[in-house]
Each structure stands twice: as C-alpha cells, then as structure tokens.
C-alpha cells in the first residue's frame, strides 16, 4: 500500500475530486488531455467548482500534480480512468473517450500494475471493450501481466454535503486478490466506507441501475404532473400530501438532463437489446423525461394565449441553462429543449444563468446568454428552468403585476407568485 502511486485520467467533475482526495494519502498525478484545464488547475482554480480553491491549492502545495504530458504518469502503478461516457445524437452509447483513455493507459502501464475504471458503462464494457484496448497497445496480457478493477463514480455535481469521501464506494477487481487491493486503496480515503462487489460486471450493473432507477421514478412524477395539470390539480400539493407517508419516495417532476441520469439508462437499454430483450420500462421513462422540455414550452404558450399575450415576436426570458441547480455544468441540459421549442413558435428567448459560462454555452449550443439579470419588464413570459439560489431573490410579484406569464419548472417559489408550476 505504501508503494502505490496513482494516476487519475480525466480531471472533470469526477476525476479531480477523486485525485485530490487520493493525494492526501498517496503520491497522485492528475492527467488530462486538455492543457488549458491542467494549467488552470495548477494555478489553483477549478472551473467546475467541485473542488474549492483552498483545498486544491493545499493539495498542490503538498505535492499533488496535474499534467497533460503522458510521460508524467509512466511510473505510476495504479491507474484510475474517470472520463465521460456520453451518447450520440441517436442516444447510442459513445465509448470514444473511454477507448482513448484506455489507449493512454496502454501506453504507460507496466507489469503488475492495476487500472480501475470509474466511468459509467453497461455491464461488460470494462472487460469486453476497454481492457482489450489496453492489451493491444501495451502488449501485456490481462490478468497475467496487469490487472483491473471497477469502482463506479457517485459524484453529485454541485453537492457540497455529499462529497466524494462521504459517499459509500462500490469496488471490484478482476481477481479476488486484486479486488481486495482495490478495495483497500479506496477504503483508505473514503470515510463513508466501501462495498466490495463479487465481480466487475456486478459493480458495473449496480452503477447503471442507480441512475436508471432515479430516471424511472422522476418519469413517473412527470407523468403525474401532466395528468394533474389536465385535472386542474396542483402536483406539488399532491406530492406534499402523499409524502406524509413514511415510505413514500420524495421525487419531484422536472427536467432530467446531465451526464448521468439523462444518459446512463441508454447504456443499460442497448446492452439489454444486444441480448434480445426490449427494456420497455427503462425506455418509456426516457421518452417521458425527454418530452418535458417541449411540454413545458407548449404549456407556456397556452398560458400566454389565455392572457391574450401575442406569441410571435414576443420576448421570453429563460432563467437557467445548466442541467441542475447551483452547478455550472451545461452538458446534456434539457433546458435547451424549452429554448428550442419556444423558437419554433417564433418567440425570441433571452437566457440568463449566473452559473453557466457564456463562452461554453455559445460553443455548445450557439446561444449568447445575458451576463446580468435584465432590469426590464419587456418579457411576455419568464420560465424558471433551473432552481439556482440566485433566482429566489427575483421580485416575481412585480413581474406578475405587469401581466407576465411565469412558469416555475422546479416549484421553488410561492404558488401565488407564479402563473403555473410543474
């Protein structure tokens, strides 16, 4: 254990917090192909805001290093892969980042080394898709010359309470002995403890169903919201009443995006289909949640018509573009679906989000965002798409008095101050 030297490949929302944590116990190098990202981290700032600057700077002062030079990780012996696993435009799993990271590992791994994958995948991906790449590039034999493990990430972006060390970690290894080593390494820094799964495939499956379960439960309450809206019943009030029962699960309706819940079910679905099984509930949940942006936009238009507010040419303001509250991550945000659908009605839409970086929004979605909250009453509709804490300070009563339609997607402001809440 004393001789472990760790390289964490991928320094995003998952990799950086983990690398910083490992550095408290082991010699650790964080590796990322994005040189600009590495430079910013070495200067002591994390743009994702997952690691506070004082923690990062303290780690750097104690020897933690970030690099984009592959030679810097060649003498490591415990490699951790923490890169994104997105889907393509047809919602098919895209393993490109994982394959490239595996090639990187293959270039530097030596006999006796261990590589652990953290990226969310379908059961079998580590052993069937990733490790053959490491073998091919390295010329080494899996489970003879080098070994592997899988320990799924459980990072919740923007959550300052459930940080990486406070979330129980599932671990696994390619052999029982390696499983114990992997588990020991993680348990030495994870204060919440670990759970050693019997195999890599079990650990992979456990991770992918965590997010699929949440996706299905949110889809259920989204469907309830649509039903209760037709019946003129306040969904939030219904959930509050039902929540008084001890075993009622506290899910709320809303947009389901991001790089986990909005993506992972597709990984499980594809693998199921390869085995000849059509996963009806999983895909039905995805269809429901993917439909919510268009549904919200349509409801906003209906409210405007009822108030005799012109649709074509009227300006709308969308508050929030990130995939969740109090987090700068815009990847796979479903707020963009509201924006695009309103444009289909020939409405002009301004976007204001104090958490999102304007240059990233422009690069990802081609949208120029406002840099400050607009002090104006020129909007016919305001959609509160993301529950950033800053939006609680907005004077909604003043906006309602001016005849503006306000649609509260997240149900964070008083019902009396909105035209409708999901």
Whether the predicted pLDDT of 392 surpasses 90: no
Task: Taking each helix axis as running N to C, give the angle between helix 53-61 and helix 15-22, from 0 to 180 degrees, rounded to the nearest 10.
Answer: 40
% of the chain exceeding 70 in pLDDT: 98
- What integer pLDDT is reported at residue 158 of this predicted model? 77
Out of 76, 260, 327, 404, pick the active-site residue.
Answer: 260
Mean pLDDT of 380-402: 84
More confident residue, 394 or 117: 117
The answer to which of 116-125, 132-141, 150-159, 183-192 has the lowest mean pLDDT is 150-159
What would the pLDDT profile of 365-389 be if each residue is shown by its tens digit? 999 999 888 766 688 999 999 999 9
- The answer to whether 260 is a known catalytic residue is yes
Whether the predicted pLDDT of 105 surpasses 60: yes
Whether the predicted pLDDT of 1 surpasses 60: no
Closest CA to 234 of 246, 252, 249: 252
What would the pLDDT profile of 169-182 be if each residue is shown by its tens digit? 999 999 999 999 99
- What integer pLDDT is reported at residue 38 of this predicted model? 95
- What integer pLDDT is reported at residue 375 of this predicted model? 67
- What integer pLDDT is reported at residue 372 of this predicted model? 86
Locus of tokens 């490992």 = 22
Is 50 in contact with 14 (CB distance < 8 Å)? no
What would the pLDDT profile of 316-366 be if each residue is shown by its tens digit? 999 999 998 999 999 889 999 999 999 999 999 999 999 999 999 999 999
User: If you average pLDDT over every residue of the chain, what do you get?
Assistant: 92
Mean pLDDT of 109-126: 95
What would the pLDDT profile of 291-315 be if each residue is shown by its tens digit? 999 999 999 999 999 999 999 888 9
CA distance 37 to 365: 21
CA distance 64 to 29: 6
Mean pLDDT of 117-128: 94
CA distance 3 to 59: 19
Instruction: Give the pair of three-digit tokens for residue 90.
Output: 């047809």
Cβ neighbours of residue 145 closer than 8 Å, sequence gap 6 or more: 111, 112, 138
- What integer pLDDT is reported at residue 259 of this predicted model? 74
Instruction: Give the pair of three-digit tokens for residue 134.
Output: 């490491």
* Long-range contacts of residues 188-195, Cβ cutoff 8 Å, at least 24 apart: 188/1, 188/25, 189/21, 189/22, 189/24, 189/25, 189/165, 190/164, 190/165, 191/165, 191/166, 192/165, 192/166, 192/167, 192/168, 193/168, 193/169, 194/168, 194/169, 194/170, 195/168, 195/169, 195/170, 195/171
Is 319 in contact with 382 (CB distance < 8 Å)? yes
Is 329 in contact with 317 (CB distance < 8 Å)? no
User: In angstroms, how far is CA 124 from the centroid of its own chain?
Assistant: 22
What would the pLDDT profile of 27-81 be if each residue is shown by its tens digit? 999 999 999 999 999 999 999 889 999 999 999 999 999 999 999 999 999 999 9
Locus of tokens 């240059």 = 359
Q: How confident is the model at residue 393 (pLDDT cuts 50, 70, 90)?
A: confident
Closest CA to 396 of 375, 413, 420, 378: 413
The answer to which of 49-58, 124-133, 155-164, 216-225 has the lowest mean pLDDT is 155-164
Q: How many CA atoms lie within 13 A of 240 on its CB side?
A: 6
């Amino acid at each position: 254990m004393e001789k472990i030297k760790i390289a964490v490949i991928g320094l995003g929302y998952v990799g950086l917090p983990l690398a910083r944590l490992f550095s408290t116990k082991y010699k650790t190098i964080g590796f990322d192909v994005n040189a600009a990202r590495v430079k910013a981290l070495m200067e002591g700032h994390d743009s994702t805001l997952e690691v506070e600057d004082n923690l990062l700077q303290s780690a750097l002062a104690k020897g933690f290093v970030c690099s984009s030079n592959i030679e810097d990780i060649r003498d490591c012996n415990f490699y951790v892969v923490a890169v994104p696993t997105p889907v393509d435009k047809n919602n098919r799993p895209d393993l490109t980042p994982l394959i490239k990271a595996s090639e990187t590992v293959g270039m530097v791994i030596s006999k006796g080394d261990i590589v652990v994958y953290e990226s969310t995948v379908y059961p079998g991906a580590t052993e069937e898709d990733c490790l053959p790449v490491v073998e091919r590039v390295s010329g080494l034999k899996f489970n003879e010359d080098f070994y592997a493990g899988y320990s799924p990430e459980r990072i919740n972006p923007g959550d300052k309470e459930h940080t990486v060390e406070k979330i129980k970690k599932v671990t696994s290894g390619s052999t029982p002995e390696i499983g114990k080593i992997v588990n020991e390494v993680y348990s030495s820094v994870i204060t919440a403890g670990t759970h050693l799964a019997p195999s890599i495939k079990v650990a992979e499956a456990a991770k992918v169903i965590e997010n699929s379960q949440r996706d299905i439960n949110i889809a259920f309450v989204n469907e309830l919201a649509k039903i209760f809206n037709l019946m003129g019943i306040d969904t939030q009030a219904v959930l509050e009443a039902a929540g008084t029962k001890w075993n009622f699960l506290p899910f709320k309706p809303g947009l389901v995006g991001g790089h986990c819940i909005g993506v992972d079910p597709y990984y499980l679905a594809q693998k199921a289909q390869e085995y000849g099984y059509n996963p009806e509930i999983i895909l039905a949940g995805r269809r429901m949640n993917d439909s919510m942006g268009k549904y919200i936009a349509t409801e906003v238009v209906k409210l405007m018509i009822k108030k005799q507010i012109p649709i074509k040419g009227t300006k709308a303001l969308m508050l929030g573009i990130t995939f969740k509250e109090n987090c700068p991550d815009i990847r796979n945000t479903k707020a963009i679906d509201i924006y695009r659908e309103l444009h289909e009605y020939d409405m002009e839409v301004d976007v204001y989000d104090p958490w999102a970086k304007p240059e990233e929004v422009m690069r990802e979605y081609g949208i120029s965002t406002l840099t400050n909250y607009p002090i104006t009453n020129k909007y016919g509709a305001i959609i509160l798409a993301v529950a950033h804490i800053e939006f609680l300070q907005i004077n909604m009563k003043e906006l309602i008095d001016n005849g503006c339609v306000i649609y509260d997607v997240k149900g964070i402001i008083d019902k009396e101050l909105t035209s409708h809440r999901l």
